[in-house]
Amino acid sequence: MLPKQAVKRIPLSFVLLISLLLTLAVQKSFAQASEVPTDAETIAAGEKLFTQNCKVCHNVQTKLIGPALAGVYDRRELPWIYAFVKNSTKLIESGDEQAVAVFNENNQIQMTAFDFFSDEEILSIVAYIKDQTDNAPVAEAAPAATAAATPAGQEELPSSYLNAIIIGAAVILVLLLVVLFMIVSTLSKYLRQRDDLSEEDREFVETRNPMAIIRSKAFIGIVVAVVTAVVAKGTIDALYSIGVQQGYAPKQPIAYSHKIHAGDYQIDCNYCHTGVTKSKNANIPSPNICLNCHNSITKGTNTGTVEIDKIFAAVENNKPIEWVRVHNLPDLAYFNHSQHVAVGKIACQTCHGPIEEMEVVRQYANLTMGWCVNCHRDTELNTKGNGYYDRLVELHEQESDQPFTVEDNGGLECAKCHY
């Protein structure tokens, strides 16, 4: 603490100057924050731009590939943010201290230039970041992931278990027959050795030869019934498995890991599969989408540079990457991704399983007609915000106290999927 004499020597003008500077700094911070829009329309536009362009490398609350963006409008001035987003490399090369610091703190990974963004679009992204900073989302309960991992209509008793039960029952039956045969044979042998049997009893024992049991119509009928049941079950299973590729996991030309990309780095499925919300097909990402990240990230987590080099080779040689299709529906069945994802709000995991945990993608569900039909029977239709369904829901509620499902909206009509 300063002595009283020293305090008295501090000019009043110096104290006022310090106070003025602190006030201006606080006012500037509040002024910049107040420049960020807070209306719902701008925030929604910013969320869309953020999801499509930024989410692959940035989270708001936590660091991903790039830094966490919460409060960035307080740490940086808006003109600086505009310049950095449009061309971070140019700003770094100019020697800007803040840009160089950000570049070094994040392993010198070059940020993609978004020079096609206007200041208003970047400001809308900042508005979304501010909204997410001020209203940090609460972590959802874990059971949601569990529910998504078990698609509607999943068989409760797999066919392999049923086969095991039938085979086990047949083995037990054979063992029982063997035991009974041994018991009858032992008793017959014992009774034949007795001298106190009457002629009638001895005749009965002689006629009950174990071989006679095997030749009996009852025994032959049981054996024929068991064999017929096993053969019939095997034939039916074989017929039902035609075209079903559940568990199919082909080797791909590039060892791409969904566990690393969608799991560890939480890259949104829509970022790579761009057609999933607007097209019948989810589409396989083109190499230029891969290079949005891998122009800077040239070494893979598990495979080093070998697999990533294949992407560069495909681009340089102008040859497509020949990915092997995993999920195949017959030509007679029509399925529209956008209808289910954009309108129905169905999570990818509902049909594809825990894709974020798969090193190698496999077909999770059996994708049979029965599987789809059961899903339509059980899934409640998302009608919120769509006036088209209001009258339908009203009529449904007059007749039933059950939820309005896809089936109630004609989801089981043949022409919905076959036309």
256 has a pLDDT exceeding 90? yes
Question: Is the alpha carbon torsion for 398, 402, 406, 408 positive or negative?
Answer: negative
In whole angstroms, give the CA distance from residue 225 to residue 219.
Answer: 10
Burial class (CB in 10 A: 0-12, 13-18, 19+), 283: middle
Give how far the C-alpha of residue 58 lies from the chain's centroid of Cα atoms, to the nearest Å: 20
Which of 197-206, 293-302, 408-417 comes out lowest in average pLDDT? 197-206
pLDDT the model gives residue 207: 64
Question: What does the pLDDT look like over 373-417, one tens digit per residue?
Answer: 999 999 988 887 778 888 889 899 998 889 999 999 899 999 989
pLDDT the model gives residue 13: 53
In whole angstroms, give the CA distance from residue 327 to residue 252.
Answer: 13
In whole angstroms, give the CA distance from residue 120 to residue 235.
Answer: 65
Q: Indicate the average pLDDT of the chain.
A: 81
Q: If pLDDT is split at 50, 70 and 90, which confidence band does 208 have?
A: low
Q: If pLDDT is split at 50, 70 and 90, which confidence band does 176 have?
A: confident
Phi, psi (5° rounding) for residue 57? -120, -15
Could you tell me if 257 and 356 are in contact, meaning their C-beta atoms sit under 8 angstroms apart? no
DSSP string, 300-315: BTTTBTHHHHHHHHHH
Sequence-separated (6 or more) residues with CB below 8 Å from residue 166: 229, 230, 233
In whole angstroms, give the CA distance from residue 203 to residue 170.
Answer: 34
Give how far the C-alpha of residue 341 lies from the chain's centroid of Cα atoms, to the nearest Å: 12
Question: What does the pLDDT look like over 14-35, one tens digit per residue?
Answer: 445 455 445 544 444 444 545 7
pLDDT the model gives residue 15: 46
177 has a pLDDT exceeding 50? yes
Question: What does the pLDDT look like over 352-375, one tens digit per residue?
Answer: 999 999 999 999 999 999 999 999
Cβ neighbours around 257 below 10 Å, total = 18
Closest CA to 269 of 45, 48, 52, 50: 52
Choose between 323 and 73: higher pLDDT. Answer: 323
Q: Running DSSP on this structure, what letter comes out for residue 138? A: P
Global pTM reads 0.58
Tokens 């201006």 identify what position?
Answer: 24
Identify any residues that bridge with 405 across adjacent strands, giving them in sequence order: 380
Second-level CATH architecture of 17-134: Orthogonal Bundle (1.10)
pLDDT the model gives residue 314: 93
Could you tell me if 106 and 297 are in contact, meaning their C-beta atoms sit under 8 angstroms apart? no
In whole angstroms, give the CA distance from residue 138 to residue 131.
Answer: 14
Identify any residues that bridge with 300 across adjacent strands, giving them in sequence order: 304
Alpha-carbon distances of 99 from 75, 108, 279, 338, rounded to whole Å: 12, 11, 39, 40
Q: If pLDDT is split at 50, 70 and 90, which confidence band does 212 have?
A: low
In a 13 Å sphere around the CA of 382, the CA atoms on its Cβ side amount to 10
In whole angstroms, give the CA distance from residue 153 to residue 146.
Answer: 15
The beta strands (E) that lie in 310-411 are given as none
Could you tell me if 357 and 263 are in contact, meaning their C-beta atoms sit under 8 angstroms apart? yes
58 has a pLDDT exceeding 90? no
Give per-residue burial for 39-77: e unless 16+ CB within 10 Å, then b.
eeebbebbbebbeebbbbbbbbeeebbbbebbebbeebe
Choose between 238 and 18: higher pLDDT. Answer: 238
What residue segments make up the domains of the chain, in order of their start? 17-134, 159-240, 254-366, 368-419
- Long-range CB pairs of 206-209 (<8 Å, 24+ gap) are 208/184
